[in-house]
A and B are shown apart, each in its own frame.
Chain A
Amino acid sequence: MSDFLYKKNKKFYFLLVIPALVIYCVALVGPLLIGTFPSSLYNWNLIKGNKKFIGLENFIKLFHDEQFIHALLFTILLAFVSIILSNVVAFVIAFALDSNIRGKGVIRSFFFIPNIISGVMVSFVWMFIFTNAIPNIGEKLHLDSLAQISWFGNTNMAMLAVIIVTTWQSTGFLMMLYVAGLQTLPKDVIEAARLDGCTGLNKIFRIQLPLLMPTVTINLFVSIAGAFKAFDIPLALTGGGPSNSTQTLALNIYTDAFGAFRTGYASAKSVVLFIIVAIVAIIQLSMTRKREVQM
């Protein structure tokens, strides 16, 4: 029966895939394979219009491009610090909210709202805090050092600002994943541990955390892949400055492509970003798949 149905409808099934296939290839796969990859081998300036094949020269140049190296290093720093901070905070909050308390839903939303509003909004909210609220508090408390911090004029402080805002935005989302993970833990195991006298921090670190490792793994990779695409917050918050100190890889590509119109060179950077994100994503996919088999 089902073979009969399959033969009868095979063409129909194939027709269903056509619209998605066409739009997907024109919008995404085509631009990558026919656009970005070949462009990276050219010395090409979109405004000047010259286009000359130079092979791998762009990629060799990348290794000596301080601005690009700095963008790569800042992206790694941002990823590293914000991932650790936001995962730790998210984990603690998820535990607090997993216990028996009132108004869980409302409290969870408080942590989640930064995640549903855009990076631009989040950045402007914090810009107000950095340029008005914190100096104001500093003055009231007569803490001159706090009042006089130049958040956006100082390289280190601007990097810190981007890290704080990124962490703040991603915490709520990771918290939700931890809450979801905690709810799937087998109740009988935890109850047995409790009866054996394993409570408090002991219970968290010896029972719940080990059981939660799959969620931790996923959260880490979700946040790593996300961090390498960081764009909105550095653009809206600092514009990449001062003196390019808060440029992420994505922002560096953007300014190079749409500010300097160095199409070929920016494409080479895009290829590097693609390779990094692809490696992270493949590791993530294979880990999720492994987990699925175990379950």
Chain B
Amino acid sequence: MRQHNKVEVKIWVKSVICLLLGIIFLFPVLLIVMNAFKPNGDILSSFLAFPKALYLDNFNQAMETMNFWIVFKNTVIVTVFTVLAAGTISFLAAYGISHLRGSISRGLYTLFVFGQIIPFHTVMISVSVLATKLHLTNSYLGLIFFNSGFFTAFGIMTYVGFLKSVPLELEEAAAIDGAGVFRTMIQIVFPLLKSTTVTMAILFFLWTWNDLLLPNILISDGALRTITVNLYMFKSATNAQWNLLIAGLVISMLPIIIIYIAGQKYITDGMTAGAIK
């Protein structure tokens, strides 16, 4: 019994140490959140103290100055449609590639894998020239189009990898039962790849939501900005007023942290799976 208690105490001590380490690690973020509830004077004089009262003026002012709801709407539209478009075309193409045979299949696969090694920074100049020619600047469509194009390389590679594990007999059985090829693809095969789809959706979501570069290049109209670019621009608009900047920072972080907490397991699994592939 005493032995058992000793082990128990050891586990708790270790847990508390790890928790403290975690809090220290995340302390910069915690400090930001705490100080967002203070008037500017208090931030500069005593940033370590807890807020005296729940002071919400910073948030009201920051949300107004940064047009938060418009920017939030823009980001949601661009992100949702990018995830849908990139996910759909990746799945369709991967299905096609994994069912085609011979050199066509191999050639297409290699072409898409090649995209994995192209860093966006090497094409950003050409993309901005091209977007101007195609009238895709200052539009949601431009962001959705280019994002989808960049993401398909990763999407197809991942989907093809997992499609290999779906037995062909299953599809043949469906065909014998009278299902057409389209129905087999949507109703039989697609549901089997649920975890791949979730992983991919999360990655596409985070990449689009957090992107600074593409929206910075394609969007000059302030009313069409996404949340990350907007926060970047907000810094110069606040004139180094820390109370406004950190309130804006907290508001900008909030959606992604809420989503993270809601889908924690999938997000960590998805991101780690994505890195290994």
Which residues of chain A from 1 to 36 have any CB-CB distance to chain B below 8 Å in the complex? Answer: 1-2, 5-6, 8-10, 12-17, 19-21, 23-24, 26-32, 34-36
Cα distance A116–B116 in the bound complex, in angstroms: 21
The reply to whether B90 and A270 form a contact with Cβ atoms under 8 Å apart is no
Q: Which residues of A contact B97 (CB under 8 A)?
A: 13, 17
Contact of A116 among B44, B145, B260 (CB under 8 A): B260
Cα distance A285–B182 in the bound complex, in angstroms: 33
Cα distance A35–B132 in the bound complex, in angstroms: 13
Cα distance A13–B123 in the bound complex, in angstroms: 30
The reply to whether A109 and B89 form a contact with Cβ atoms under 8 Å apart is no
Nearest chain B CB to A10's CB is how many angstroms away?
7
The reply to whether B29 and A113 form a contact with Cβ atoms under 8 Å apart is yes
Q: Quick check: is A254 within 8 A (CB to CB) of the other chain? A: yes
Q: Quick check: is A77 within 8 A (CB to CB) of the other chain? A: no
Cα distance A288–B129 in the bound complex, in angstroms: 36
Given A177-B275, A231-B121, are A113 and B260 also a contact pair (CB < 8 Å)?
A: yes
The reply to whether B11 and A100 form a contact with Cβ atoms under 8 Å apart is yes
The reply to whether B268 and A97 form a contact with Cβ atoms under 8 Å apart is no
Range class of the B interface residue count: 35 or more
The reply to whether A32 and B123 form a contact with Cβ atoms under 8 Å apart is yes
Q: Quick check: is A222 within 8 A (CB to CB) of the other chain? A: yes
- A124 nearest CB neighbor, chain B only: B249
The reply to whether B260 and A19 form a contact with Cβ atoms under 8 Å apart is no
The secondary-structure label for the interface of chain A is: helix
Q: Which residues of B contact A108 (CB under 8 A)?
A: 268
Q: Quick check: is A105 within 8 A (CB to CB) of the other chain? A: yes
- B85 nearest CB neighbor, chain A only: A23
Cα distance A258–B94 in the bound complex, in angstroms: 36
The secondary-structure label for the interface of chain B is: helix
Which residues of chain A from 236 to 265 have any CB-CB distance to chain B below 8 Å in the complex? Answer: 236, 249-250, 253-254, 257-258, 263
Q: Which residues of B contact A199 (CB under 8 A)?
A: none
Q: Which residues of A contact B26 (CB under 8 A)?
A: 110-111, 113-114
Q: Which residues of B contact A15 (CB under 8 A)?
A: 96
The reply to whether A125 and B29 form a contact with Cβ atoms under 8 Å apart is yes
Q: Quick check: is A73 within 8 A (CB to CB) of the other chain? A: no
The 0/1 profile, CB within 8 Å of A marked 1, for residues 112-146 of chain B is 11111111111111111110000000000000011
The reply to whether B122 and A17 form a contact with Cβ atoms under 8 Å apart is no
Q: Quick check: is A96 within 8 A (CB to CB) of the other chain? A: yes
Q: Which residues of A contact B249 (CB under 8 A)?
A: 121, 124-125
Q: Quick check: is A70 within 8 A (CB to CB) of the other chain? A: no
Q: Which residues of B contact A249 (CB under 8 A)?
A: 121
Cα distance A20–B256 in the bound complex, in angstroms: 28
The reply to whether A177 and B31 form a contact with Cβ atoms under 8 Å apart is no
The reply to whether A14 and B100 form a contact with Cβ atoms under 8 Å apart is yes
Cα distance A288–B161 in the bound complex, in angstroms: 13
Cα distance A168–B25 in the bound complex, in angstroms: 8
Q: Which residues of B contact A19 (CB under 8 A)?
A: 89, 92-93
The reply to whether B181 and A12 form a contact with Cβ atoms under 8 Å apart is yes
The reply to whether B149 and A27 form a contact with Cβ atoms under 8 Å apart is yes
Cα distance A271–B96 in the bound complex, in angstroms: 32
Residue among B29, B119, B276 with the most chain A CB within 10 A? B119
The reply to whether A229 and B119 form a contact with Cβ atoms under 8 Å apart is yes
Contact of A35 among B101, B125, B182, B228 (CB under 8 A): B125
Q: Quick check: is B241 within 8 A (CB to CB) of the other chain? A: no
Given A113-B257, A258-B217, A270-B121, are A101 and B18 also a contact pair (CB < 8 Å)?
A: yes
Given A28-B149, A282-B117, are A35 and B130 also a contact pair (CB < 8 Å)?
A: yes
Given A5-B175, A110-B23, are A31 and B127 also a contact pair (CB < 8 Å)?
A: yes
Q: Quick check: is A62 within 8 A (CB to CB) of the other chain? A: no
Nearest chain A CB to B3's CB is how many angstroms away?
15
The reply to whether A116 and B118 form a contact with Cβ atoms under 8 Å apart is no
The reply to whether B232 and A120 form a contact with Cβ atoms under 8 Å apart is yes
Q: Which residues of A contact B260 (CB under 8 A)?
A: 109, 112-113, 116
- A27 nearest CB neighbor, chain B only: B149
Given A24-B152, A124-B249, are A281 and B130 also a contact pair (CB < 8 Å)?
A: no
The reply to whether B92 and A16 form a contact with Cβ atoms under 8 Å apart is yes
The reply to whether B119 and A257 form a contact with Cβ atoms under 8 Å apart is no
Cα distance A232–B153 in the bound complex, in angstroms: 22
Which residues of chain B from 191 to 207 have any CB-CB distance to chain A below 8 Å in the complex? Answer: 206
Which residues of chain A from 44 to 75 have any CB-CB distance to chain B below 8 Å in the complex? Answer: 46
- B12 nearest CB neighbor, chain A only: A102
The reply to whether A23 and B152 form a contact with Cβ atoms under 8 Å apart is yes
The reply to whether B126 and A101 form a contact with Cβ atoms under 8 Å apart is no
Contact of A273 among B119, B156, B211 (CB under 8 A): B119
Known: A125-B32, A258-B217. 10 other contacts (CB 8 A): A10-B100, A16-B92, A27-B146, A28-B118, A111-B26, A112-B260, A218-B275, A274-B119, A285-B113, A285-B116
Give 8 nearest A-B pairs by CB, closest first. A27-B149, A35-B126, A16-B96, A110-B22, A20-B93, A31-B126, A118-B210, A281-B117
10 contacts between A and B (CB under 8 A): A13-B100, A17-B92, A23-B149, A31-B126, A93-B21, A100-B14, A107-B21, A118-B228, A173-B271, A253-B124
